[in-house]
Amino acid sequence: MQIDVIDPKKTAMIVVDMQNDFVASGAAMETPAARAVVPKLADALKICRDARIKVIYTAHVHRRDGCDMGLFDDMHPPIANRAALVDGTPGVDIYPELAPAPGEHVIKKHRYSGFFGTDLDMILREWGVDTVIISGTTTENCCHATARDAMFRNYRVVFLSDATATYNYPDRGFGPMPAADVHHATLVILAASTANVMSVEEMRARISRRD
């Protein structure tokens, strides 16, 4: 997918899951690389807001009683023991340095994709959006799933290579994989099958300045 011109009137930036439980130091599901990209993502947000590109956030949350948990409690102990991503707790709030501006919405989701079981698509259609910019964490899970679901719904997808991040993978039978390798592999796959992968500076250069 090649996107040479980004039309602000038809574009929305989606900030995926940049929540305290992932980004804050010492958090139960801390992703240090996500914290490292905060300045670059903050820059991307300023670029988009200055260009009047709409911004919308997602937040991965679960009710404390687990009624919307699905299989996550089998895969992530901090979710299973309610140490993270509990709706209504400070941990699910957006990291303060990336806080939504007045009027910007936060979509609560219960799966990796921002589209699954939410009204994200409805809002984007109401806005007349045909292009989405994906940023946030983690590259290969929630950002990847949201990008794929956007493409399935015929949105053009910009995926920011330096405003997305992930964590080190432990050995679960196939060897460990450092975050940098997971991130790189995901970008390669998305660039071949789903999105126009680009840096924040490349995004800036492609935003149309026409009225």
Flag whether pLDDT at 210 surpasses 70: no
* pTM metric for this prediction: 0.96
Structure tokens at 189: 């796959």
Q: Domains in the chain, ordered, with CATH? A: 8-206 (3.40.50.850)
Ordered DSSP codes for 56-116: EEEEE-B-TT-TT-TTHHHH-HHHHTTSS-BTTSGGGSBPGGGPPPTT-EEEEESSSSSST
Flag whether pLDDT at 2 surpasses 70: yes
pLDDT in tens, 72-89: 888 888 988 898 999 999
pLDDT in tens, 90-137: 999 999 999 999 999 999 999 999 999 999 999 999 999 999 999 999
Mean pLDDT of the chain: 96
pLDDT value of position 76: 87
- Break the chain down into helix, strand, coil percent, rounded to 5: 40, 20, 40
Structure tokens at 104: 């910007």
pLDDT in tens, 41-75: 999 999 999 999 999 999 999 999 999 999 988 88
Percentage of the chain beyond pLDDT 70 is 99
